[in-house]
Every structure is written in structure tokens, then in C-alpha cells.
Amino acid sequence: MATLITKNPFTGEETARFSLETYSHAHEKLLSLKNAQISWRQLKLSQRLELVHEGLKYFDQNREKIAVDICEQIGRPLAHARNELNGFFERANYLCSIAESVLKPDKLEDKPGFERSIEHAPLGVVFVISAWNYPLLITVNSVIPALIAGNTVLLKHSSLTPKIGAHFEMAFKNLGPYKNLLIQTVIDHTVTGELIEKSPVDHVVFTGSVSGGRSILRHTSHKFMMPALELGGKDAAYVHSDADIQHAAETIVDGAMYNAGQSCCGMERAYVHESIYDDFIIKAKKLVDAYTIGDPTDESTSLGPLAQEKSVKIILEQINEAKKNGAKIISGGNIKKISAGTFFQATLLTDVKNNMQIMQEENFGPVLPVMKVHNMEEALRHINDSAYGLTAAIFTKNLKLAHEFAAQADVGTVFMNRCDYLDPALPWTGVKHSGCGSSLSKYGFYSVTRNKAIHFRTITKG
């Protein structure tokens, strides 16, 4: 068997070794999940919920170890890795809290002689293909609803973060007397496609690139299986003339720089009303200049190394193309090497145009381009002129204006006076190249279940 080796992006040291599984090995895992699902789905919902709560205790008992593993595998500052665990529990606990009300059968109006209802039946084995940039949050969105609803889970975590996948397996593989409920598989892209096409996978949840999403669609199409796809984003903010400028600058800069910009829902472009543009740039520059790069285990580090060195090429190409066409770098813009880590400085660009690559293509780096606009209509025109549609934000004191903005923004989520945050009570969804399907909220449960009609005639003649 080939071996997957992961390395710390800051020190270059090896952090883990996993055997890359063959199709045959992964298929056997899937069959064990298929068999386990038969008894798991027959449990009462309240019993499954209680056992999932037991599984969640593992993460609480191993908080620091998991945070360190995130830090060592993707280079995120340790303080930020700890914070991801807080978000993990916020989502997991909320999903658990609504499960019984969401999954109970929908009873129809009484009809003499008949009993009718709509049940939310599990799909079977859910194949969760997770991403590295938020290794806990992205995974918990699907794993918790899937298990509670009566599915079993085959988990393929990113090749950068298999240790996080192993934590999920430790927590949920065996719950009480029930075995093989969640199993991690470490496989390459070829085996992933084979598994979807040839093995009894009942549903696929994929988080990753647009090209990866297209590949998943090709593999699932002959099964008439619609996967849930969470893909790219080019999220934008509009700062209106009446906005609290300091708050807008702090929120947007944090949304652009957090996790070194390696987030599908990070702020990748800002449109600022011309009357406050200069003031916004002054405040944003001060904030961007304050970011500190360095050892991610150092509590003072606010910007870690890029998880993948190849990201530098994309970031530089976009910045250089923008500079060539008149954009100005107000802060940052340089690569820094510390130890074995490759860092990209927190970067602020002005004088950008909407047709530049940096305003159209995913950047996945700590870069914020800011464009001056005349009004909200112009901002919306630019925001919607994108292949992506994940989130958009408006900063204003005018609630009516925010509703008008929301009605016209072609995205899955619209924020007012905030950004880059997932509320577990709301569905996380995208349009256009940002994907299809929903996670979180009650719709996250509906995405891993199917409607099952119950139509009983309780009275017969004779």
C-alpha cells in the first residue's frame, strides 16, 4: 500500500502517516457500514440522540490534542484552532437540540378510516468528503445530522487533515453496543470515484473545489443520486454611506484575513460608497498592518503559514494582474519565509476594477481588494457579476435598505453588519458555482433523509 504522509506547514516535520487504501479495502469498510445501518436505523430517535451525545464527549475530553493537531496539520494559529472547537460544539449542540422536532413524522389532517403521515427516513450510508480549511466545522455539519437521522457515515477527510478524520472515527465509530457507525477511509481521487460508482453509497456530501464538485456529479449521475455540494465562494461586502465605518472595517478585514484567508466564506472583495471610501481605507490599512505572522503555536501570532505552498502562485498571479491594470497595494503583498513555513502578508488593494481576476476568481489568501462605488445599485451589479453565490454582506444602519439588498443579491446567505459566520439555525447553502444542497438548520437533516409517505387504511368493509 502507498503511504500518505502529512507535514507541519511551519516546521516541515512529519506529523502523520496513513496507508492509502485500495478500492477493495474501502469497499469492505462501506459494506460494514451498510450492515451496521440496519440495526442503527431501527433504534428510537431519542436513543440515537443520546448515543451521539455520548460520542461528542470525546471532543470535549480531547480539546487540546485536537486543537494541536489542527495547528500542526494546516498551520492555523493555535488560539484560532481552539476557537474552532467552540464553533464545533455550538453547531453540534444546536443540531442535537432540534433533531426530535425536525425528524418527527409530519401528521396529516385526520381522515376517517385512514392514517396518513410523512416520515423522514434515513438514506443509508452517507459518504462525507470533507475539507481541510475548517476540518471540524465542515465535517460536523453533515456527520451529526446523518447519524442522528439513522444513517451510517463513511468519512474521507482531506489528505492534509487525516488526523482530524481519525478523531471523528474515535468518537463515533462505536456508540454503546452499536459498531461501525462512522469509519474513516484514506483514499485517493481515483478510488473515491470508483467507490461512488461501484459500491452501495446512498448519498454523497462533498466540500471542495468547483472542479471536484463536477467530478462528484459525474460519478453520481448514473445512480440518479443528487449529491450535496459545498464549493467555492467569492464573497463580497457593500459598505453604505451611513455605515459605522470602524465596525465595517474591523468586520470585513477579519473576514478576509481569518485563517489566512483560506475560507470559502471569507470576504474576498469589498465595495465601499464613494463618500466614505477614503476613511474606510485608512481604517482598514491600520487593521491590516497589525497582523502578525510567525510560529502558529505562539499566542501573539494572528496569521499562520499557508497550508499549501502552491497557493502562493494563485495569489501572486491575481495580485500581479491587478497591479498591471492599475491596482495599488496599500499594505502587504509580499511572501515571507519563516522556518519551513510560507507566509503571505495580510494585503490590502485599492483602485481595483471588477473585471480583474482578483475580483472574479477565488483567491484563498489573506488579501482584501476594495473598490469605490457610487451607490448600492452599482455594488449589487458587481456582486452579482460573479460565477459564485455563497454570501454577501451589507453594512448600513438602514434595515429597509438591507432588505432591498437581500432581495437582489444572488447568494445563499445575506448578512447585515456582519460576515463570515454560520448560524446553525440557518441553512448553509450556495447558488451558481458555490454548490447545491443545504447543511445546518432543519434543512441539514432533510438533506440526509428522504420523504416516506405512510398511507394506511384502518377500516375495511366486512
**Catalytically annotated residues:** 230, 264
- Integer-rounded Cα radius of gyration of the chain: 23
| Interatomic CA distance for residues 121 and 123, integer angstroms | 7
Three-class SS of residue 83?
helix
Q: In whole angstroms, what is the distance from residue 321 CA to residue 326 CA?
A: 9
What is the number of residues in the chain?
462
Query: Rounded distance, CA 267 to CA 256, Å?
Result: 4
β strands within 300-426, DSSP E: 328-331, 335-338, 341-344, 347-350, 367-373, 388-389, 391-395, 413-416
Query: Which residue, 57, 36, 43, is CA-closest to 171?
Result: 57
Residue with cell 500500500: 1
Taking a C-beta distance cutoff of 8 angstroms, is the pair 356, 321 a contact? yes
d(CA 218, CA 204): 12
- Hunting for cell 488593494 — which residue is that? 349
Grid coordinates given for 161? 487533515
3-state secondary structure of 200: coil
C-alpha cell at 388: 459564485
Q: Helices (DSSP H) in 175-307: which residue ranges?
A: 189-198, 210-221, 245-257, 277-289
State how far the Cα of 16 lies from the Cα of 4, in Å rounded to an integer.
Answer: 8
- The SS3 assignment for 436 reads strand
Q: Three-class SS of residue 78? A: helix
**Cross-strand pairs, 392:** 236, 414
